[in-house]
Amino acid sequence: MSYPYQIKSFEEYQSAYAKSLAQPTEFWGEIASYFTWRKHWEMTLDWNFVEPHVRWFMGGKLNITENCIDRHLKDRGNQPALIWEPNDPDEAHRVLTYKQLYDKVCQFAHVLRNNGVKKGDRICIYMGMTPELAIAVLACARIGAIHSVIFGGFSAQSIADRLQDAHAEFIITSDGAYRGGKDIPLKSIIDDALIACPFVKRVIVSTRTRTPISMIKGRDVWWEDEIKKIETLGLHDFEPEIMDSEDPLFILYTSGSTGKPKGVVHACAGYMIYTNYTFINVFQYQPGEIHFCTADIGWITGHSYIVYGPLSAGGTSLMFEGIPTWPDASRFWDIVEKHKVNILYTAPTAIRSLMSFGTAPLEGKNLDSLRVLGTVGEPINEEAWHWYNTNVGKGKCPIVDTWWQTETGGTLISNLAGITPAKASYATLPMPGVEPVLVDEKGEIITGNNVSGNLCLRSPWPSIIRTTYGDHERCRTNYFATYHNMYFTGDGAYRDENGFYRITGRVDDVLNVSGHRIGTAEVENAINMHAGVIESAVVGFPHDVKGQGIYAFVVYSGDTPADAHLSRQDILQTVTRVIGAIAKPDKIQFVSGLPKTRSGKIMRRILRKIAEGELEQIGDTTTLLDPGVVEEIKAGRV
């Protein structure tokens, strides 16, 4: 099998790009024709960015798992679909061929049906990175249930918020998860979440760590017992639910600049086609290659480039349970050598963290199988890019810097490995179908090159966000209302003399900490829940490994806490409870007041400068209600 729509030269890229904008329906219609449909679509695209309203392949009927599994059975049934590498290098790895994956997904889809799941039901998945997680995701898609995977680092409170928002009545989890040296007690965190979610009918629990857990009669069942029932009933194949192109495939919660995380909704057909197209073209995937994306399936990167993209392309996807630095900093290189990985796709934060160990962990590791390297999740600094290129790619592997978001479903701006030019710290050129523009504060489009602005997109690609679950207005105001007739990304970008884009980072109040999106408002809300706190302001600051760190300025009741160290620990504990450990501030400074304008608005610009250590560049403070507070904050910087 080769891919008829794989771009093979820079000229082909240019003509595909030109066609995709001039004739989007013909362009995407032709690509879509290579997939398995139960009914051909009637209209390829209908859209406006005002409501917003975007529909692709309307009237078409399909099931994404038929495209990710069934259609590969004939030619590649015995080829590995998933290779699973456990946390502990001494534990055996597992391989699931397409045939085995088919059997497991069908079996678990039966389990779901047996437990009362129907098309359209929302199912929360809270698991570690085991093959069962991928099976659970695919089984949901097969039965037409809408999966909502929650990353294992979120707290019970965050889970409860998401369960309530999605009104999810079903949960799939594990007793626990291994991550580096830690065991995460997933089921017991779920139990805490469920105190606030009495509507949850069923919790299916797979075994991994075999930590003792509570199993509530009538609500909780073991994955393995449920599978046995299906075997006893002699059930095998599971006829996939026939889905409409625009039926929701999944919800994934992500942080924005205001309020609680929003449930980004993706639709079946457009998401499938775009993740497949970008997987094949960005990485220049060749049949038989081993693709290792180091993300967690709890994030969009794992959804698109561990599960749906690679499998829809009939590829082999390697999933890893652990972390790059455990038991030591050669874990990734051992995996590359052991499984002869061809494509390694990871995050700048992981590269920087490995960089800090020097090159010793790479010594003696055979990385010859590597052909393509990739990065995602945050801007990559030039130093990390060169380190990756020299020490991992040995100067022979193109690096794709893929810029995209939970809301975009797949990569929007990236070079194509070995086909279009790479440039350190640049995502470079848009994918076919993607029309980036830079706009100024007033919403005027900035033309020409060597310019910076806010990054917007002018027309829809197939996997654009359809809505935010249960609240379409929120989708409009968040993404489509800032600038007329454009999707606003929240990122700033620079366009160089060749028209290459460099993403410079968020321009809204969203932080990117180790590639994880965290809203400053969310962290402030969590800190403010601590009994001793009056108010707080959270900003980012440059962090060598994480990219951005979290700096919190906190006004404490009675001015300063009696034991500052202890109060800091209490605040960290509160944030861990409310959001999860990933949102813990790196620095907490107790202040007597925050710099505010006379109208009461917090001047974050000033706090950002202080957090960044740019004390000379604070600028004019005379418009502040109390300019003196700035001097105090500067003096007390931590």
* Residue showing tokens 């909502």: 148
| The two structure tokens encoding residue 193 | 């979440």
Of 102 and 385, which has the nearer Cβ to ligand WTA? Answer: 385
| CB of 411 vs ligand WTA, minimal distance in Å | 8
DSSP state of 279: H
Of 44 and 425, which has the nearer Cβ to ligand WTA? Answer: 425
| CB of 324 vs ligand WTA, minimal distance in Å | 18
User: 3-state SS of 103-171?
Assistant: HHHHHHHHHHHHCCCCCCCEEEEECCCCHHHHHHHHHHHHHCCEEEECCCCECHHHHHHHHHHHCCCEE
| CB of 499 vs ligand WTA, minimal distance in Å | 17
Of 131 and 377, which has the nearer Cβ to ligand WTA? Answer: 377
CA-based nearest residue to 254, from 516, 558, 596? 516
Contact 506, 498 (CB under 8 A): no
Of 408 and 589, which has the nearer Cβ to ligand WTA? Answer: 408
Contact 336, 80 (CB under 8 A): no
Residues paired with residue 451 on neighbouring β-strands, in sequence order? 495
Of 333 and 479, which has the nearer Cβ to ligand WTA? Answer: 479
Q: How far apart are CA 397 and CA 400, in angstroms?
A: 9
DSSP secondary structure, 183-212, as one string: EE-HHHHHHHHHTT-TT--EEEEE-SS---
| CB of 610 vs ligand WTA, minimal distance in Å | 23
| CB of 435 vs ligand WTA, minimal distance in Å | 17
| CB of 241 vs ligand WTA, minimal distance in Å | 28
| CB of 451 vs ligand WTA, minimal distance in Å | 18
For ligand WTA, which residue has the nearest CB?
Answer: 406
Q: How far is CA 216 from CA 136, 221, 225, 555, in A?
A: 21, 8, 15, 43
Of 315 and 379, which has the nearer Cβ to ligand WTA? Answer: 379
| CB of 503 vs ligand WTA, minimal distance in Å | 4
Of 13 and 299, which has the nearer Cβ to ligand WTA? Answer: 299
Of 512 and 567, which has the nearer Cβ to ligand WTA? Answer: 512
CA-based nearest residue to 408, from 435, 446, 441, 375? 435
CA-based nearest residue to 348, from 306, 403, 396? 403
Interface with ligand WTA by CB under 6 A: which residues?
A: 254, 299-301, 376-379, 401-406, 427, 489-491, 503, 505-506, 512, 517
| The two structure tokens encoding residue 545 | 């490994």
| CB of 72 vs ligand WTA, minimal distance in Å | 26
Contact 367, 394 (CB under 8 A): yes
Of 314 and 377, which has the nearer Cβ to ligand WTA? Answer: 377
